[in-house]
Amino acid sequence: MTTLRVAVLGAAGRMGRTVVEAVQDAPGLELVAALDRDDDVAALADTGAQVAVDFTVPSVTEANVTALIRQGIHAVVGTTGWTDEALDRLRTELAAQPQVGVLIAPNFALGAVLAMRFAAMAARWFESAEVVELHHPDKADAPSGTARHTAEAIARARSQAGLGPMPDATTSAADGARGADVDGVRVHAVRLRGLTAHEEILLGNPGEQLTIRHDSFDRVSFMPGVLHAVRAIGDRPGLTVGLDQLLDLG
Ligand SMILES: NC(=O)C1=CN([C@@H]2O[C@H](COP(=O)(O)OP(=O)(O)OC[C@H]3O[C@@H](n4cnc5c(N)ncnc54)[C@H](O)[C@@H]3O)[C@@H](O)[C@H]2O)C=CC1
Ligand SMILES: O=C(O)C1=N[C@H](C(=O)O)C[C@H](O)C1
């Protein structure tokens, strides 16, 4: 079996530490670099890394991935905060390195990926849909990347089905009481000590409610998805958004 040489960026962080352990324990993978703040990503090629996993912070992830692409290193990215404009800039970078693959995924937990897919399937059949995400209080961004992605998928499905705005008679609300508006879908963010990463999608019709809930109790829940992506990304040049694209979900 040939060995795949892997680097981890953000290696001192909560996710980075878990990824380092997972790569060290995974058959066929070799950890060749573990970088954090102040390490030079632009010199990573010297380590022989073929794939790099980025769990850093929204303000640096684009610069990291750009540096990886320019060195011909595939990237598996879990860091949140990607905008459409930033993704377009990556596509331009990738056009100059057509053999390189980049995966950006808001959530690597298989259950979360399925929850997002189920929510998109269900969205057209319900009058109302709202998303509640619940996380540890050390999280920097709100709402979560997963909740944004979920809300965007719900909005797309509603628009394709010709559904209009959801019923909501609110005319007076305290700041933030109705959550953030993501493409017309309300998203609520809870931060609570003891939590890891959780999401509930609430779908309502007259007389019924469907609740889709996913819980990551531990960061090991993200590792099968991360390792699957590390192994698959070399055969998938260009930009891929969402782990579902690598899971053959139909
Ligand atoms: N896609 C997914 O499945 C998941 C995504 N995340 C996302 O991953 C990101 C990281 O989350 P956590 O590990 O909880 O955060 P964290 O704050 O524990 O870790 C971030 C790490 O990045 C390091 N860092 C900062 N600048 C850097 C740079 N220029 N180069 C290399 N490292 C740098 C920090 O020193 C820190 O060690 C967040 O955006 C979070 O939302 C978190 C969990 C799962
Ligand atoms: O910061 C986290 O912890 C998580 N971040 C990702 C997100 O913002 O969606 C994925 C997961 O929710 C954990």
- Its sign, for the CA torsion 110, 102, 136, 202, is negative
Q: How far apart are CA 115 and CA 118, in angstroms?
A: 5
Domains of the chain listed by start with CATH number: 4-104+220-246 (3.40.50.720), 110-217 (3.30.360.10)
Pocket test for ligand 2, best of 144, 196, 198, 221 (most atoms within 8 A of CB): 144
* pLDDT in single tens digits along all 250 residues of the chain: 689 999 999 999 999 999 999 999 999 999 999 999 999 999 999 999 999 999 999 999 999 999 999 999 999 999 999 999 999 999 999 999 999 999 999 999 999 999 999 999 999 999 999 999 999 999 999 999 999 999 999 999 999 999 999 999 999 999 999 999 999 999 999 999 999 999 999 999 999 999 999 999 999 999 999 999 999 999 999 999 999 999 999 8
Beta pairing class for 208-216 and 197-205: antiparallel
Predicted local distance difference test score (pLDDT) of residue 165: 97
Predicted local distance difference test score (pLDDT) of residue 250: 83
Give the number of the ligand closest to the Cα of residue 82: 1
Evaluate if pTM is beyond 0.90: yes
Which residues are catalytically annotated?
135, 139
Strand order from edge to edge, sheet including 51-54: 29-35, 4-9, 51-54, 74-77, 101-104, 238-241
Residue whose CA lies nearest to ligand 1 atom number 35: 37
Give the number of the ligand closest to the Cα of residue 241: 1
